[in-house]
Chain A
Amino acid sequence: MFTDAQVLFQIAGIGIIVALIHTILKQMGKEEIAQFATLIGFIIVLVIVINGLSDLFNQIKSVFLF
């Protein structure tokens, strides 16, 4: 899953789109919905990153600390 740069572009894309949605919703005057959109995008990216992080720590444990 994490062997190429795909996930990098995924995160960057999610970030840009979330910022876009945030700006549009703010312009429409829906401040709290804009906050929610940012939060949801944050959580989605967090799930991806946490998966990678646990993968990394498992590998480190198996190689260094056996």
Chain B
Amino acid sequence: MDILQIVLLGIIASILYIVLKDINRSFAFFIILITGIIIFLSIIQQIAIIFELIQDLGRNANVEGLYMETILKIIGIAYIAEIGASLTKEAGLEAVAKNIELAGKIFILLLAVPIITAVVEAILNFLPSV
């Protein structure tokens, strides 16, 4: 989808949201949700192309597959957590949004554990054995 179309979609969604907000709050929330879905579905193909490029570069540079995969997974988790947190914040549930953000951070840290251990082992190898 073109960028102009996405911007126009956002403008239309905000107009509909303002109209619906006073009439029916739950439907206004659905408007927000479906707008996010439409915009993301229209850009996900391009994201896949970019990721293929990144993976190609990594393969050419002989980066271990595990590391690239971890990075892509971290990006995915960050994006999903961001969506969930902003949607719940929009619905007025600040505390739940904070918890979702915390859960995203924890899962990212969990995915990074193998990389962190690899870094620590590499540093320990540099140190002269006493």
Q: Which chain A residues have a beta carbon within 8 Å of chain B's beta carbons?
A: 2-5, 7-9, 11-12, 14-16, 18-19, 38, 41-42, 45-46, 48-49, 52-53, 55-57, 59-60, 63-66
Residues of B within 8 A of A (CB): 1, 9, 12-13, 16, 19-20, 23-24, 26-28, 30-31, 33-35, 37-38, 40-42, 44, 47-48, 51, 69, 72-73, 75-77, 79-80
| Known contacts A11-B34, A49-B34: A2-B41 contact under CB 8 Å | yes
The secondary structure that dominates the B interface is helix
How far apart are the CA atoms of A48 and B33 in the complex, in Å? Answer: 11
Bound Cα distance from A60 to B75, whole angstroms = 11
